[in-house]
Amino acid sequence: MLKEVQHKSHFMGSFPCGTDLLEGLTGICEKENITLGRVEAIGAVQKACFGYYNQKSREYQFTEKNFEMEILKCSGNISLNDGKPMVHAHIILADEKGTAFGGHLAKGTVVFACEFIIQSFGGAEFIREFDDSTSLRLWK
């Protein structure tokens, strides 16, 4: 599947200490009515929750890390899921020794300091629907 989209606008900002990263990004999309776009974030977290999709069991396995880490990279996209904006992002984090952790960004990733960019697109709609071959909600 390939669809053409057009750049609409950029939003840049930061989250205060204690913000849930996924909820914060999603909240901005809801407030600004961003239903198609991309996200990026850098900074640091107080703790994190991220997932790995087990292709055999077809379930997410979530990992929690309850210590401070740097956000090396957080990137993802925005599309519609059940008529609402959904942020689908992955995150790579590093501890004080440089050991990296990462996966699917989940609720429970709490910001210490974070700067973000959200790019909004217009044009074609990207809507998530259940995919039988993966048991995921993918773009159709």
Q: For the segment 28-75, what is each residue's pLDDT rounded down to a tens digit?
A: 999 999 999 999 999 999 999 999 999 999 999 999 999 999 999 999
CB-based contact 34:84 (threshold 8 Å): no
8-139 to CATH, choices 3.30.1330.80, 3.90.25.10, 3.20.20.70, 1.20.120.1200: 3.30.1330.80
pLDDT tops 90 at residue 1: no
Q: What are the extents of the domains in the chain? A: 8-139
pLDDT tier, 127 (very low <50, low <70, confident <90, very high otherwise): very high
Question: Cα separation of 114 and 116, whole Å?
Answer: 7
pLDDT in tens, 89-109: 999 999 999 999 999 999 999
User: What per-residue confidence (pLDDT) applies to 124?
Assistant: 87
